[in-house]
Structure 1
């Protein structure tokens, strides 16, 4: 994903917000285990050669839950929400929409149109046309890397962008974004 951090202060505030959110979401479990957490913490303070640490598996599970599971779940959920087209106008009011946080049109297209397949025709600097299918096995680079595109299958294409047929024995085609004059995208219908 493109960087969404504007400054160091913005980064710190974002991290603080999500840390607080994770602990608020985990607070019911934390409250239920509070006496066990305190007992475990106390046993750690009195460690010496003669004392054994009081180990509670519920506290261990709580640590795993708060430090690993919750951040993954929250990150996935926020990412899922961020990509929802219906929410972009609300996110835009806070400067957080995909369009506002995506540095290049190339990134925006491939971040927001990754569910369905497309026929792609690349018009190269030298006038050549490269056609292929952008589907589940295809790949597009994103910022900060240079633009490049791997299409999972390559097709012969005429000057009207008509796909004439699959190039035999091809394993896809790589397109160097630096050499592309224009990219044309066509929806793949179910019958294609």
Structure 2
């Protein structure tokens, strides 16, 4: 049995590649925990099958009209869309649907952690982090700041570090500070304030 046989390669491309593209697109848009390769292969075949089920009418029409012989260029373009573009569109559409309020009545939100939910919105905040030892660290989370996302452990970089006053408010920026990085394992709570 030769795995490089053309028929086997075509079957592999047809039933693994579209699903794999959908899985990778979804993972880029909505990071999640890593799955082992054997589970991803089963998922890829399932998502490829869904891709073909959603496109059965156009595929049937293209094959029925025999575009392979009458318009070979458009035939190739069509299957590039089916194999490469449509799986990206389905992944984006599915993620968008999962984030709608209607579907969230029956399905869990696709974002697994509040940390990812808050910081993926790319909003600016004043931040006060209370550390496990009781100390408070304050700063500005803005355009030059960064918060890690799943599956990485939570870390936050605040582009400006601020001094916390006796009342627990923001007194002034720390002198000569280039920001501060806070690790999640050191944080008890994070309080966010609108700018």
TM interval, shorter chain, is: 0.5 to 0.7
Displacement of 1:133: 2.6
2:142 is aligned to 135
Cα distance change on mapping 1:15 and 1:71 into 2, 3 Å: same
Cα distance change on mapping 1:60 and 1:142 into 2, 3 Å: same
2:171 is aligned to 164
Displacement of 1:70: 0.8
- Specify which of 14, 20, 26 is matched with residue 49 of structure 2: 20
1:110 is aligned to 116
1:9-158 equivalences in 2 (<5 Å): 12=42, 14-34=43-63, 35-37=66-68, 39=69, 56-92=72-108, 97-98=109-110, 102=112, 107-112=113-118, 114-115=120-121, 116-158=123-165
Cα distance change on mapping 1:159 and 1:147 into 2, 3 Å: farther
Tell me how far apart the structure 2 counterparts of residues 16 and 25 of structure 1 sit (CA, whole Å): 14
8 Å CA contact 2:139–2:159 kept in 1: the answer is yes
Displacement of 1:147: 2.0
Tell me how far apart the structure 1 counterparts of residues 125 and 86 of structure 2 sit (CA, whole Å): 35
Displacement of 1:23: 1.8
8 Å CA contact 1:153–1:170 kept in 2: the answer is yes
8 Å CA contact 1:5–1:11 kept in 2: the answer is no
8 Å CA contact 2:153–2:184 kept in 1: the answer is yes
- Specify which of 14, 32, 43 is matched with residue 2 of structure 1: 32
2:3 is aligned to none
How many residue pairs were aligned?
Answer: 162
Tell me how far apart the structure 1 counterparts of residues 178 and 73 of structure 2 sit (CA, whole Å): 51
Report the 3-state secondary structure (helix = DSSP H, G, I; strand = E; otherwise coil) of the residue aligned with 2:190: strand
- What TM-score do you get using the length of structure 2 for normalisation? 0.65
* Structure 1, unaligned runs of 5 or more: 41-54
Displacement of 1:91: 0.7
8 Å CA contact 1:131–1:154 kept in 2: the answer is yes
- What TM-score do you get using the length of structure 1 for normalisation? 0.66
Tell me how far apart the structure 2 counterparts of residues 31 and 5 of structure 1 sit (CA, whole Å): 34
8 Å CA contact 2:127–2:141 kept in 1: the answer is yes
Say what the alpha-carbon RMSD is for the aligned residues.
Answer: 3.2
Cα distance change on mapping 1:173 and 1:81 into 2, 3 Å: farther
